[in-house]
Amino acid sequence: MPALEIYAVALPTPLRRTFDYLAPQTVTQGLPGMRVAVNFGNQKLVGVIVDIKDHSDFDLNKLKPVEALLDSTPLIPEELLQLCQWAARYYHHPLGEVLAAAIPVALRQGETAELSTEKAWQLTESGNACSPDDLKRARKQQALLQLLKEGPLSGQPYVLHKDLLLQDVNRPALKGLQDKGLIEPLEITPDPIRPEALLKSPPLQLNEEQANALDQIEFDQYGGHLLYGTTGSGKTEVYLQAIEKVLRAGRQALVLIPEIGLTPQTLSRFQSRFNRPLAVLHSSLNDSERKQAWLLAAAGDADIIIGTRSAIFTPMKHPGIVILDEEHDPSFKQQEGFRYSARDLAALRCQRLGIPLILGSATPSLESFHNAQQQRYRLLPLTQRAGGARPPTIELIDLKRQPLQEGLTQALLDSIEQHLLASGQVLVFINRRGFAPTLMCHDCGWLSQCQHCDARLTVHQNPAHLHCHHCDYQRPLIHQCPTCNSRELHCVGQGSERTETILQNRFADFPVLRVDRDSTRQKNAMHNIIEQVNRGAPCILVGTQMLAKGHHFPNVTLVAIIDADGGLFSTDFRGPERMGQLMLQVAGRAGRAERPGTVLIQSHLCEHPMLQTLLHQGYSAFAQLILQERQVSMLPPYRYMALLRAESKRSENAHALLLAARQIAERLSPSHPDLQYLGPLPAPMERRNQRFRHQLQLHASSRSRLHQLLTPLIAQLEQHPLSRRTRWSIDVDPQDMA
């Protein structure tokens, strides 16, 4: 009689446990990492086998067999499965949901794990005969035809559809050429070609610091490296040359970038250097594209994988290096559901794989900065701008007692004018979208409050409406006070639309281009703006933090930061750190080419020690100053933190659940300097989207102390009657205290 076989299956449910099923009567042997289809209650779910056992703690007669084994080999390699298991334990999140986050939707729904054919394009006979010069009147089509004519040079008679999209070819251009009978689509089975020459274009000659950084990276063992270099210091060149070494050793490179940094410009730097297949994983792929990219990486058919946060879960056949660019970026931490840090998981994954990790930034997170000081990471500094560009000069403009025109000082307006007249481009940074943050009645003091949140409605002019940026509630703009009927309604404060308007009026001869979430909603909008800026004529770019990252604007000679003060009195202890990072990132957009840049920063708090340190002594001294404060106030990275959040339509329920949590915690481990509890307290914005939000902070002197508490605490809290009626979550190493 064959031995009893039981699968422990992780299922995408909120329950923090696995479920036992009997193996099916098939010839294929189940293995951890394979997917199974099972009946769960009255649902059909797809789960992942995490363990194979010969016994169960449950009544064997009640165990159901799995409906089907969906894979013949493990979809999730052992290494990735272990990473997910570790993450489930560390973030105290159900393993089934962790795995669901790691696997592309199509595979999660049970589709076969086979590479599908891919759409590609080739020239027709008349396309071969046609010269790009014949298409002068359709520039996009002309460029596309040119591209396809170059395709055969790389050894293939076709170009993959996805590669064309990466090169910023648009669908109308494709359709145009197809309608003219010049190109035709075809379906091909991907077959990675690796021409003999690894490099498409030669590497740059590294400067001494870059060469030194590259030298310090050991490729056959784990090592964390913090590549700390100002914007334009040549970090990307170091990544490229590190990747070259990895590829020469027959291994794969995984590159993670913040969502907002994944621009065609960034991608093209990788594409134009290597003759090797590249897979991109980002949020705008559709399900089948995502699955394909994931499977190509797993099969070792993609040598370079570039993606955003969740790409940290990409399986690789021959992993060789992980690189995180802009490692300080908050988008590497997921802020809802499974609240993981891709940066921290990257470090763990590299350690287990025995491969190097490079974290790159001009403004490293204080966690990584601290790790470098503790010698846990090797610090690789790049202090010079590569390629000869000079660093910008930074000056403060004191806002106190200055007459202001919509938030702009005369000094700033004069400077903008000078730069425009000298044929420079100007970037104006304002970190608020909309026209004004609030509408106020001049007669009675009424404010445009959101009905659902403890927040004000933002005034938008284009189209005109009032909008809550927290719950998305919208209503038409009003012109009369709802309380006293006065018509004296004033817009209070500045938003990007308002700044755009004043600059348009003041500099009517120059284009003013606004970049924020509203102005770039339409496809290609961002692309068109970038294109116009790259043409180089003088113009003003006004925008929010969308402008701070990823893009290079070589002709920008002046960067103006309208208001530096927000971060200095933020309720979040990370406020000053984020302010400093953002300011330097924005400043880094200036003067990247031959022309030196100037940065002007308006502030009411010019004497603030943090601002002074940042501007006169640089980011390292600034980081050091904040680290000292964190140490004194016992905050991360000197303490380890977890945040229990609860929210409910009834404030008292959320509060009561957290109070219960605190009581459980006190019973498990009474407050002690090594383990302290703060709260329950109302969240910084207590009411959001009609729910009242409360939080309980847990602070510990070590990770292990924290986790020893969290495991039993959560198990007991799950049994609490209120826990089923109140939405709650646990956030380990929270990045945002809201």
> Site map for ligand ADP, 214-243, x if CB under 6 A?
---------------x-xxxxxxx------
Supply the minimum distance, in Å, between the C-beta of residue 683 and Zn ion.
14
What is the CB-side half-sphere exposure of residue 153 using CA atoms within 13 A?
7
Please, are residues 418 and 480 in contact by the beta-carbon 8 Å criterion?
no
Query: If binding is defined by CB under 6 A, does position 244 make contact with ligand ADP?
Result: no
- Which residue matches tokens 């990072």? 581
Please state, in angstroms and rounded to a whole number, the distance separating the CA atoms of residues 329 and 581: 9
Query: If binding is defined by CB under 5 A, does position 474 make contact with Zn ion?
Result: no
Q: Bridge-partner residues for 698, per DSSP? A: 642, 677
Supply the minimum distance, in Å, between the C-beta of residue 385 and ligand ADP.
7
Query: If binding is defined by CB under 6 A, does position 257 make contact with ligand ADP?
Result: no
Tokens of 33: 């990492």
For ligand ADP, which is the closer residue by CB, 233 or 557? Answer: 233
Which helix (H) or strand (E) segment holds residue 21: the answer is strand 19-22
Please state, in angstroms and rounded to a whole number, the distance separating the CA atoms of residues 614 and 611: 5
Q: Which amino acid is at 704?
A: S
Peptide bond into 202 cis (omega under 30): no
Query: If binding is defined by CB under 5 A, does position 473 make contact with Zn ion?
Result: yes
- How is the chain split among helix, strand and coil, in percent rounded to 5? 35, 25, 40
For ligand ADP, which is the closer residue by CB, 549 or 693? Answer: 549
Supply the minimum distance, in Å, between the C-beta of residue 269 and ligand ADP.
8
275 binds, among Zn ion, ligand ADP, none (CB under 5 to 8 A by kind): none
Q: How far apart are the first and last CA of the chain?
A: 58
What is the CB-side half-sphere exposure of residue 454 using CA atoms within 13 A?
10
Query: If binding is defined by CB under 6 A, does position 205 make contact with ligand ADP?
Result: yes
Burial of 502 (0-12, 13-18, 19+ CB in 10 A): middle
Supply the minimum distance, in Å, between the C-beta of residue 534 and ligand ADP.
14
Query: If binding is defined by CB under 6 A, does position 273 make contact with ligand ADP?
Result: no
In DSSP notation, 533-562 reads: HHT----EEEESGGGTSS---TTEEEEEES
Supply the minimum distance, in Å, between the C-beta of residue 238 and ligand ADP.
7
Please state, in angstroms and rounded to a whole number, the distance separating the CA atoms of residues 332 and 327: 8
231 binds, among Zn ion, ligand ADP, none (CB under 5 to 8 A by kind): ligand ADP
For ligand ADP, which is the closer residue by CB, 172 or 618? Answer: 618
Supply the minimum distance, in Å, between the C-beta of residue 234 and ligand ADP.
3
Please, are residues 459 and 450 in contact by the beta-carbon 8 Å criterion?
no
Nearest partner of 368 among 347, 350, 354, judged by Cα: 347
Applying CB under 6 A, the span of 156-164, 202-210, 494-502, 506-514 interacting with ligand ADP comes to 202-210
Supply the minimum distance, in Å, between the C-beta of residue 441 and Zn ion.
3
Supply the minimum distance, in Å, between the C-beta of residue 592 and ligand ADP.
7
- Which residue matches tokens 């460029």? 143
Query: If binding is defined by CB under 5 A, does position 685 make contact with Zn ion?
Result: no
In our burial notation (b when 16+ CB lie closer than 10 A, e otherwise), range 653-685 reads bbbbbbbbbbebbeeebeeeeebebebbebbee
For ligand ADP, which is the closer residue by CB, 152 or 387? Answer: 387
Applying CB under 6 A, the span of 198-206, 363-371, 430-438, 619-627 interacting with ligand ADP comes to 198-206
- How many chain residues interact with Zn ion (CB under 5 A)? 15
484 binds, among ligand ADP, Zn ion, none (CB under 5 to 8 A by kind): Zn ion
206 binds, among Zn ion, ligand ADP, none (CB under 5 to 8 A by kind): ligand ADP
> Site map for ligand ADP, 369-408, x if CB under 6 A?
-----------------xx---------------------
Which parts of 417-436 interact with ligand ADP (CB under 6 A)? none
Supply the minimum distance, in Å, between the C-beta of residue 389 and ligand ADP.
7
Tokens of 10: 């992780």
Supply the minimum distance, in Å, between the C-beta of residue 486 and Zn ion.
4
Which parts of 287-316 interact with ligand ADP (CB under 6 A)? none
Supply the minimum distance, in Å, between the C-beta of residue 342 and ligand ADP.
19
Q: Is 165 helix (H, G, I), strand (E, B) or coil?
A: helix
Please state, in angstroms and rounded to a whole number, the distance separating the CA atoms of residues 158 and 188: 9
Tokens of 235: 């970090």
Residue from 206, 471, 526, 738 binding ligand ADP (CB under 6 A): 206
Residue from 281, 297, 358, 450 binding Zn ion (CB under 5 A): 450
Query: If binding is defined by CB under 6 A, does position 156 make contact with ligand ADP?
Result: no
Residue from 167, 207, 216, 373 binding ligand ADP (CB under 6 A): 207
Burial of 482 (0-12, 13-18, 19+ CB in 10 A): exposed
Tokens of 609: 């020690």
232 binds, among Zn ion, ligand ADP, none (CB under 5 to 8 A by kind): ligand ADP
Nearest partner of 664 among 710, 628, 629, judged by Cα: 710
Peptide bond into 152 cis (omega under 30): no
In our burial notation (b when 16+ CB lie closer than 10 A, e otherwise), range 341-357 reads bbbbbbbbbbeebebbb
Applying CB under 6 A, the span of 46-54, 133-141, 204-212, 610-618 interacting with ligand ADP comes to 204-212
Supply the minimum distance, in Å, between the C-beta of residue 687 and Zn ion.
9
For ligand ADP, which is the closer residue by CB, 210 or 544? Answer: 210
Residue from 18, 210, 252, 384 binding ligand ADP (CB under 6 A): 210
320 binds, among ligand ADP, Zn ion, none (CB under 5 to 8 A by kind): none
Which parts of 479-508 interact with Zn ion (CB under 5 A)? 481, 483-484, 486
Please, are residues 299 and 192 in contact by the beta-carbon 8 Å criterion?
no
Tokens of 266: 């960034």
Tokens of 601: 């920063």
CB atoms within 10 A of CB 488: 12
Residue 456: partners with Cβ closer than 8 Å, 6 or more residues away: 437, 438, 439, 447, 448, 449, 450
Supply the minimum distance, in Å, between the C-beta of residue 524 and ligand ADP.
25
Applying CB under 5 A, the span of 61-69, 209-217, 443-451, 580-588 interacting with Zn ion comes to 443-451
Q: Which residues bind Zn ion (CB under 5 A)?
A: 441, 443-444, 446, 450, 452-453, 468, 470-471, 473, 481, 483-484, 486
Q: Which residues bind ligand ADP (CB under 6 A)?
A: 204-207, 210, 229, 231-237, 386-387
